[in-house]
Structure 1
Amino acid sequence: MQQTFPQSDNIVVITNPEIGLKQNAVNLNEVVEDINKRQNISGLVVIGNITANGKFDEFIWAQEILNQLTVPYFVVGGEKDYLFSEGKGSEISLLWGDDKQFINAENFSFVGINTFQSILPSRKYIDSETLHRLENKITSSQITRLFTFSFYPLNNTENSDQFSEVVFGKKYFSFVGKMDNTNSGKSIFEGFYLNRKDGWGYLLVSTKNDSVFIKKILGEEIKKKIKPEIIKTTFAKLSELPKNKQTSFISAGTKIWSVSFNHVKITSSVSDEENIYSVFGNGLINCVNASGKEIWHIETNKKISIPPLIENDLLVIVSDDGEIHTLNSKTGTSQQIIGIGERITSGISVSDVDDYGTILKSVIAGTEYGNLYCYELNTLDPIWTDQISDVNSELKVCSDIISSDSKIYFYDDRGTLYCRSAANGMLIWQIDAATGGWTIKNQSSFRLNKNNLIIINKDLLLVDEAGNLFCIDVLLGTVKWNIKNLNANGLIRLDNLNNLILPTTKNSVVVVSTTLRKVASEFELPFELKDETINDVVNIGTKLFVGLSNGWVYKVIPKQKVEKFFRASYAPVISIDELNGNCLVTDYDGNFTLLNLSKK
């Protein structure tokens, strides 16, 4: 929800409420009461950690307390809100409308900036959507002073130079939730933690010309009528831009086209013979043709983090709040929408269902409450529902659902693998983790990596959380063989010979022959990539293309050295796909680039 701050004398900054412990909630309630008694407050900013443990009920509790404020407010998440939460910080957008804010007052602007990546929350990064919106706001207004609010200092982010370019010429002052020894200066200030040894505290901030006055408000000092400490400091202004760092790289003669949408993209796209279909984190859905021209787009205002599916002329979309939406893939026209009322945690699968001799296409999804829902694809009329939980257990469907020969396969959050009928949901077989031998590191938060299940002929292949590979006979529901200690990261791809391509957590890519049941080859990546994550890999012709969390794409040719091939920006590669024999690369910032492979 976009806020508007009226112009008055003061703003309030609350830092690290960590709602979860009862006393912390008591402290926040008392701070809200104190603020509501004060005059001339234009607005309030809460910098994380909002929660103590990233639990959804802690977010709800914090919201219930903060909504008692009589002044407008917005929140900026902290590391516990992003790293510990199941939604990796998406709870902030769900409850408060956005994880970034741009608010203009009379003499300055307030800018709330998310410095986390939703797919790699441990990295410090400012997404292009934030930078693009900030640039537009600054360009369209006469504001010359900015207050920025972020958990990490902005100059600690990987792409801090891009932020510097946007705010160059403006005066700004930064409040942060967590500062380290590398950050200093008059224009950056670490927030005053709300929960103190002797009660609570917050900051009351005012300005005069280029001066910033920060007043430390302490509950105990109010009771004792002690005058608060006041810190006087100033806005800063960049006198020169940092030296440009080379971020992009394109092998000579490879680029066919590129397009940037400046929206966060966290899922792979799908394509047919003519077009590429994509969803973005803010609910944008679009269609781009093979020449990079946008054919249509729609804005759903829904958060979408599950990849779409294409089936004939129907595009199937699932929103995080549990809506299944079908669109005409040629026009973008909405066909059907149904709300499940539960968060879908499985991804979606299209399967054939035999309805008294008539073969119907169905869409199947699993939810956070362990429910399975099957709908007829064209009408979204219900076909069947089932539940894997019982009165003695609460289970969640947490893997992709894959289908083959009118059966579906998936995992729950305790690691039990299921085979069920796609026609009616009836259980055919199941294997628990102990019996199968696969590893669960944390039963309460067990979540499988994307695409870690695949079926080849009559075998189901899976990668567990320890990076081991298992092969299961889909007819008998028994483990046929396994390969331990591969350190696979959970992503499974196939090469042209149906060998498994398995990226590892040890800076390499392993190729496994399912016929020989052993590792056929392994490709080491350069040592400087040891701390990066392999986000995708694809086999095109005789080459492998590997996409990394630092934005680089490397080319691997068997029996030759691994070499750099492409980089659009700092943004992590989200997916690499073959498109008409060429290589399509998409990244976290919504950049799409088609690379020519005919000369390579």
Structure 2
Amino acid sequence: MKIKLLTLLLLIFASSLFAKNIKFAWITDTHIGYKNADKNLELIVAAINKIDSIDFIAATGDITEKGMTGELESAKGILDKLTKPLYVLPGNHDTKWSESGGAKFIELWNDDKFSFTIDNSLFIGLNSAIPWRGGGGHLQPDDLIWLKDELAKSDSGTDVYFFVHHPLNEEIDNWYKASNILRNYNIKLILHGHGHENKLYQLNKIPAVMCRAAFGKKNDSDWGFNLVTIDSGYISINEFNSKGSKSRWAAIDKNKSFEIPYIDQKKFENFNAEIIWQHDLESTVSPALLTWKDKIYSISDFGKDESKITCLDTLGNIIWQNTEYGIIRSRPAIADEILAAATVNGDLFTYDANTGQPLLAIGFDEPITSQLVTINYEGTKKLMIPKATNSNAAVVLGTASGKVYCYDLETLEEIWVNKNASGMIETLPLVYQNKIIFGAWDGYVYNIDANNGWLNWKWRGNKSFYYSPAACTPVTNGKNVYVVSPDKDLTAIDLLLGKTVWEENKYNAWESIGISEIGHRIFLKAYKDRFHILSAKTGKWVKEFDMNFDTDTMPHTPIEWKGNVLFALQDGIVYKIDKNFKLQKQFFMGDCRIHTIQKMGEGYFTASNMDGKIVFFKLK
């Protein structure tokens, strides 16, 4: 008996001693679309395919430069040449300018996250990129639930390796939610991209490594990737590059214990508002809320390829909900009791706004990307489809290629189409009298006639794609149109002529602008630290507020009501500036970006964030 027991122990010891190492290639920030990036990735793929001992390849985001469909398809074509399994995540470059709002990435790679096991190791990757939003990252509530569920399936002794694009720190506003989940498991390493260099450090006491970009910092032909080897004692990382180097630059002791601090999760906090009610959809909400009469409409994600439309009343009760196949990134629109919503998969739906009863649906051959607006059509087009009402309501929408369509809202018959723009239309178009004004990702601002779709004028500032005035919502006082762009410019454009009236570059503008109720003042949330109140006539300062909020890239439209300015910051706080220029916090909604606040009747407002939290409130 003793001999058998000894033999068994020796076999267990030998199996652990000679357990198969796990090896994988790690690439990140390939930026297909950037100069020579495709050639570099071809060389990287060829080099990886020569390493027979690897088990898989991980790619941690910024696969493309702009997230364009052509770039994604090009990257997929190259990466498909890999002979071992590939697991891929998106980065902020794959989502900020995505012509499909992130849907194409999921279509090509089946998901934007991954989870799999090899022996006693779990490899799990989470998406931290935000569709149509730049700067830092965010972890979606749906994905955090998925992370919990995937980890719960593993044995207590399973080694966990966590992949993400952004570092798990303040680069992701709610990073601590993932850290608080991971601390309950045998987490060994965090692996991320984004920073374009090899780096070994700690994130909340967890060993972490950043991977170099696929191309070099100084020489775009200096390609490279990392090879990660996991054995019973260490995690070793070697860089492979165009110079033939295979040097080891990191070794992490797998068996070293460490305590991961629990980070208190920040809860809702009211400072000075009168909170009527709160509602949590517990799912990602991409567009701002829509309010109509005594109803509030919200669009939230429902799984990876469906969306949910929720209608609430002013008491916070759900009146109706509909689930649609497809991803909705755009704010819906409403007129004459009909609600219109559109998907980046190319479908336009209408519903009874009161009951949620589906009415009509039509398909397009490209993604619908703009926020929707309705107009009172006053043109001469005679419709072929008979109408049951005398409604003149029409819905206007923009697409990934830059087309603008106008459809009769009741029948969904096309009225006109404008094809002047050549870049994606993302913004909420400004409707003023018989004009529709919008920016596009081709660098232009367009003014088109609402009755026939003809171009009145187009205006261009900076010629760089990256500095297009496309994400801000234009505002007007009836004389000028005001836009901001990521080159830090604020511009007043003559509404009738499309000529520059004045331009200011000293306010550190980005993609957030609003206007007073009577049109005499501009409200501007800067890229960093400051909020400005400016003269609409001259662009000069009326008042500046140093708020010390660091970087904020969330597009947001400050609003005014009876001399009070309401706006929110990326840090999750809603603010009020009263008529005496007193700045006051209203409430904190959580570490998440807040959409534009919506007016709701006399003195009531609704605020929502990207985590699906809705607050109905009144100013004190």
TM-score range, shorter chain: 0.7 to 0.9
1:360 lines up with 2:374 in the alignment: no
Q: State the one-letter code of the partner of 1:554.
A: Y
Displacement of 1:53: 6.4
Which of 137, 156, 161 aligns to 1:147? It is 161
- In structure 2, the partner of 1:115 is 128
Q: State the one-letter code of the partner of 1:257.
A: W
- In structure 2, the partner of 1:419 is 448
1:277 lines up with 2:304 in the alignment: no
Q: Distance in 2 between matches of 1:45 and 1:270?
A: 40
Which of 383, 395, 401 aligns to 2:415? It is 383
Q: State the one-letter code of the partner of 2:179.
A: S
1:583 to 1:362, Cα distance in 2 relative to 1, 3 A: closer
- In structure 2, the partner of 1:288 is 312
Two-structure CA RMSD over aligned residues (Å): 4.1
Q: Distance in 2 between matches of 1:478 and 1:420?
A: 13
Task: Name which of structure 1's ranges 137-146 and 326-335 shifts more when overlaid on structure 2.
Answer: 137-146
1:396 to 1:151, Cα distance in 2 relative to 1, 3 A: closer
1:313 to 1:110, Cα distance in 2 relative to 1, 3 A: farther
Q: Distance in 1 between matches of 2:367 and 2:120?
A: 42
- In structure 2, the partner of 1:27 is 43
1:508 lines up with 2:524 in the alignment: no
> Is contact 1:18–1:50 with CA below 8 Å preserved after alignment?
yes
Displacement of 1:171: 1.0
Which of 7, 18, 26 aligns to 1:14? It is 26
- In structure 1, the partner of 2:269 is 249
- In structure 2, the partner of 1:548 is 569
1:331 to 1:440, Cα distance in 2 relative to 1, 3 A: same
> Is contact 2:25–2:225 with CA below 8 Å preserved after alignment?
no
Instruction: Tell me the secondary structure at the aligned position of residue 135 of structure 1.
Output: helix
> Is contact 1:192–1:216 with CA below 8 Å preserved after alignment?
no
- In structure 1, the partner of 2:457 is 430
Q: Distance in 2 between matches of 1:493 and 1:127?
A: 28
Q: Distance in 2 between matches of 1:493 and 1:360?
A: 29
Q: Distance in 2 between matches of 1:560 and 1:500?
A: 13
- In structure 2, the partner of 1:565 is 586
Which of 163, 183, 189 aligns to 2:209? It is 189
Which of 438, 441, 464 aligns to 1:442? It is 464
Displacement of 1:199: 8.0
Q: Distance in 2 between matches of 1:117 and 1:566?
A: 24
- In structure 2, the partner of 1:3 is none
1:362 to 1:56, Cα distance in 2 relative to 1, 3 A: same
- In structure 2, the partner of 1:316 is 340
Post-superposition CA distance 1:477-497 (Å, at most 9, x none): 465955756845554545444
> Is contact 1:15–1:49 with CA below 8 Å preserved after alignment?
no
Instruction: Tell me the secondary structure at the aligned position of residue 586 of structure 2.
Output: strand
Superposition map of 1:34-183 within 5 A: 34=50, 41=55, 43-51=56-64, 56-69=69-82, 72-78=85-91, 80-81=93-94, 92-103=105-116, 107-118=120-131, 120-139=133-152, 142=155, 144-156=158-170, 157-172=172-187, 173-177=189-193, 178=195, 180=199, 183=202
1:372 to 1:252, Cα distance in 2 relative to 1, 3 A: closer
> Is contact 2:431–2:437 with CA below 8 Å preserved after alignment?
yes
Instruction: Tell me the secondary structure at the aligned position of residue 331 of structure 2.
Output: coil
> Is contact 1:28–1:65 with CA below 8 Å preserved after alignment?
no
Displacement of 1:566: 0.9
Q: Distance in 2 between matches of 1:418 and 1:404?
A: 10
- In structure 1, the partner of 2:16 is none
- In structure 1, the partner of 2:7 is none
- In structure 2, the partner of 1:5 is none
- Identity over the aligned pairs, expressed in percent? 19
> Is contact 1:483–1:518 with CA below 8 Å preserved after alignment?
no
> Is contact 1:88–1:121 with CA below 8 Å preserved after alignment?
no
1:583 lines up with 2:583 in the alignment: no
- In structure 2, the partner of 1:306 is 330
Q: Distance in 1 between matches of 2:465 and 2:250?
A: 49
Q: Distance in 1 between matches of 2:516 and 2:252?
A: 63
- In structure 2, the partner of 1:408 is 436
Instruction: Tell me the secondary structure at the aligned position of residue 372 of structure 2.
Output: strand
Instruction: Tell me the secondary structure at the aligned position of residue 596 of structure 2.
Output: strand
Q: State the one-letter code of the partner of 1:556.
A: I
Per chain length, whose mean CA-contact separation is higher, i.e. which structure has more relative contact order (CA < 8 Å, sep 6+)? Answer: 2
Q: State the one-letter code of the partner of 1:322.
A: G
Post-superposition CA distance 1:448-482 (Å, at most 9, x none): 233214464xx4523253544435354xx465955
> Is contact 1:577–1:583 with CA below 8 Å preserved after alignment?
yes
1:337 to 1:356, Cα distance in 2 relative to 1, 3 A: closer
Paired residues in the alignment total: 567
Q: State the one-letter code of the partner of 2:162.
A: T
Displacement of 1:55: 5.0
Which of 250, 253, 264 aligns to 2:284? It is 264
Instruction: Tell me the secondary structure at the aligned position of residue 549 of structure 1.
Output: coil
Displacement of 1:220: 9.7
> Is contact 1:533–1:548 with CA below 8 Å preserved after alignment?
no
1:13 to 1:76, Cα distance in 2 relative to 1, 3 A: farther
Post-superposition CA distance 1:571-591 (Å, at most 9, x none): 121121223432322112221
Displacement of 1:76: 1.9
Task: Name which of structure 1's ranges 447-456 and 166-175 shifts more when overlaid on structure 2.
Answer: 447-456
> Is contact 1:168–1:238 with CA below 8 Å preserved after alignment?
no
- In structure 1, the partner of 2:8 is none
Q: State the one-letter code of the partner of 1:339.
A: G
Q: Distance in 2 between matches of 1:45 and 1:296?
A: 42
Q: State the one-letter code of the partner of 1:126.
A: L
- In structure 1, the partner of 2:352 is 328
Instruction: Tell me the secondary structure at the aligned position of residue 371 of structure 2.
Output: strand
Q: State the one-letter code of the partner of 2:160.
A: L
Instruction: Tell me the secondary structure at the aligned position of residue 580 of structure 2.
Output: coil
> Is contact 2:407–2:413 with CA below 8 Å preserved after alignment?
yes
Instruction: Tell me the secondary structure at the aligned position of residue 58 of structure 2.
Output: strand
Instruction: Tell me the secondary structure at the aligned position of residue 62 of structure 1.
Output: helix
Displacement of 1:552: 1.3
- In structure 1, the partner of 2:6 is none
Q: Distance in 2 between matches of 1:97 and 1:297?
A: 27
Displacement of 1:548: 0.6
1:297 to 1:104, Cα distance in 2 relative to 1, 3 A: farther
Displacement of 1:139: 4.1
> Is contact 1:547–1:553 with CA below 8 Å preserved after alignment?
yes
Displacement of 1:147: 1.5
Q: Distance in 1 between matches of 2:249 and 2:299?
A: 49
TM-score, scaled relative to structure 2: 0.77
Displacement of 1:170: 0.7
What runs of 5+ residues in structure 2 fail to find an aligned partner?
1-19, 384-389
1:107 to 1:296, Cα distance in 2 relative to 1, 3 A: farther
1:511 to 1:59, Cα distance in 2 relative to 1, 3 A: same
Q: Distance in 2 between matches of 1:344 and 1:140?
A: 38
Q: State the one-letter code of the partner of 1:336.
A: L
Q: Distance in 1 between matches of 2:247 and 2:515?
A: 69
1:388 to 1:533, Cα distance in 2 relative to 1, 3 A: closer
TM-score, scaled relative to structure 1: 0.79
Displacement of 1:338: 1.9
> Is contact 2:62–2:90 with CA below 8 Å preserved after alignment?
yes
1:107 to 1:294, Cα distance in 2 relative to 1, 3 A: farther
Displacement of 1:431: 4.7
